[in-house]
Amino acid sequence: MIVITGGAGFIGSTLAKKFDGKDLILIDKFSDAIQRKYINQVSGARLVRLQECKQILNTYKNEISCFYHLGANSSTDQKIFSETVELNIHWSQYFWDFCSNHKIPFIYASSAATYGDGSKGFSDRMNLEELEKIKISSLYGWSKMYFDIFALKQNEIGKSPPIWYGLKFFNVYGVNEIHKENQSSVVHTFLKQLNSDGKIKLFKSYNKNYSDGHQQRDFVSVNYCIRFIESIISSKISNGLYNVGTGKPKTFIEFAKDIMKASKKDGIIKYINMPKNLKNHYQYFTKSENLKSREIHKKINNFNFEEDLNFIVKKIYNQFSE
């Protein structure tokens, strides 16, 4: 039996589809009816609301072979501290303890947001002392870092699952993001803009080191992330934190042009003001430094990002028309 939290969400539902046909428990808040389209891709899973999951987990604790914790409040501009603590820390700690107590492998979603503005680099080899020195302004990034540090400290005192990996996902894009609306990846946003008025809108730069459109991000497909998850769980790599990114950042202009090419639609790039609530924690550059996780990345280095993007764009257009 496999458990996936956030099973009706973006990465969670994509992973669940990979396990279709297996005995699955999908835990989520199930707050958006659009997500039923994602769940329909997985037949026969047990659907469990987050607030009711403790009893179900206790019932099946001896049958669970792996626990994937991908559920969270992933909004980058969240402001309600109590909600952030409950969803991103309290529940993460509960699932960690559950898997520790019952000797269940535990894989959870961290984030590149834990690297803050990137001034300390993006290495997944950072030790606990180095991580604690990173300044993070967003509640989302702070919550992910808080749990990373919790996991490392629990591991030090021997209170951890037998196998555990915290995966620092970079800028993930893919299908099954419609429910995220303005928090969806730029692939969704740009395709909507191309469809509506033939323009792709990029934020102006407020950093003298980057001209408009030349901000860089490590854009990574959700399908690559799933391949990474599959590879790491079958490996004998040490427990700890690992980056999940390409290691090859692109400018927003470059990625916008990739999306236009995949969609077979030419558009005009327009620069717009950045919302005030983003300016304080906006990342102008991200690059996954994969020295620690390079062996896993090597296993999937045949991944074709161009073909994958063509596939994703087609699927997203199909979702737009449904």
- Residues taking part in catalysis: 140, 180
Cα(314)–Cα(263) distance, integer angstroms: 7
Per the rule left: phi > 0, alpha: psi between -120 and 50, beta: everything else, 153 is: alpha
Using the 8-state DSSP alphabet, how is residue 215 labeled? -
Cα(298)–Cα(207) distance, integer angstroms: 34
- The answer to whether 88 and 140 have CB atoms below 8 angstroms apart is yes
Cα(33)–Cα(297) distance, integer angstroms: 35
CB-hemisphere CA count at 13 Å for 42?
A: 26
Cα(147)–Cα(89) distance, integer angstroms: 6
What's the gap between Cα 207 and its chain centre?
26
Residue in the structure block whose two tokens are 């980058």? 76
Cα(321)–Cα(317) distance, integer angstroms: 6
272: tokens are 């717009």
Structural Rg of the chain based on CA atoms: 19
Cα(11)–Cα(152) distance, integer angstroms: 24
Q: Which helix (H) or strand (E) holds 27?
A: strand 24-28
